[in-house]
Amino acid sequence: MKYINEQQKYWANPYDEQNYPIAYSKYTKRSEYLLSVFSKYIDNTSTILELGCNVGRNLNALLNAGYTKISGVDINKNALRECKRIYPKMNAQLINSTIEKWALGDDKYDCIFSMAVMIHIPYESDWIFKKISKRAKKFLITIEDEKNITWKHFPRNYKKIYCRYGWKQIFTENLDGPDALKGYVTRVFRKNRFYFF
C-alpha cells in the first residue's frame, strides 16, 4: 500500500507499545460507552461501518449486542489479522485501506462512526468529510479529541464540519472518561433529508 504522509506510515505499523494493535483490545470500557450511545439511536438492523476499526474491539462489542451488519476499515494489516485471531467468530467485513482511499468508494451504510481515529487524519485530507457524508445514509457518530495538537493529532470541530454537509447534530457530550477518552467529545448526527449535495 502506498502512503501519502508520515501519519499513514506510522498508523500502518506503529512502533510504540501503547499503539500496538493488541493494546486496543483491552479498552473494553470504551466499547461499553459506545454501546450506550448506539442503543439510543441505532437499531440493530442497521448497516454499520467503523472508520479505523483496529483489532475490531468495537465491532465485536456491537456484534455481541445484536448488531449483525458490521464492517470496518483500517490501515493496519497486522491489526486486522489480530482481529481474526482474537475474535475468530466475529462475522464482519474488514477492509484494509487508508481512510482516504476508502472514501473514494461508493458503498453506503446506515451509520458510520469513528472513535479516536479522525484526530489522526492530517488537515490536507479534510476533503474526506464530504465523501463520508455521502456514504452515510442516516447517522454519523464521532467520539474524537477536538483540542490536542501533536505531529499525529489534528483536532477539528465535527459539528462545524458535518452540519455544513447537511447533517443535524442531535446529541453531544464532553467526556470525562472512560479510559483515555477523557477530554473527547461525542457527537451524533442525523442526516437532514432536505439536504442535497
Which residue range(s) make up the domain with 21? 6-191
Domains of the chain: total: 1
User: Is residue 44, in this structure, part of any structural domain at all?
Assistant: yes
Q: For the domain that residue 17 is a member of, what is the CATH number?
A: 3.40.50.150
User: Is residue 1, in this structure, part of any structural domain at all?
Assistant: no
User: Is residue 196, in this structure, part of any structural domain at all?
Assistant: no
User: Is residue 197, in this structure, part of any structural domain at all?
Assistant: no
pLDDT along the chain (197 residues), means of 10: 86 82 84 96 97 97 97 96 93 96 96 96 97 97 94 95 96 81 91 65
Q: Quote the pLDDT of residue 76.
A: 95
Q: Quote the pLDDT of residue 194.
A: 57
Q: Quote the pLDDT of residue 64.
A: 96
Between CA 155 and CA 148 the distance in angstroms is: 6
Q: Quote the pLDDT of residue 63.
A: 97
For the entire predicted model, the pTM comes to: 0.93
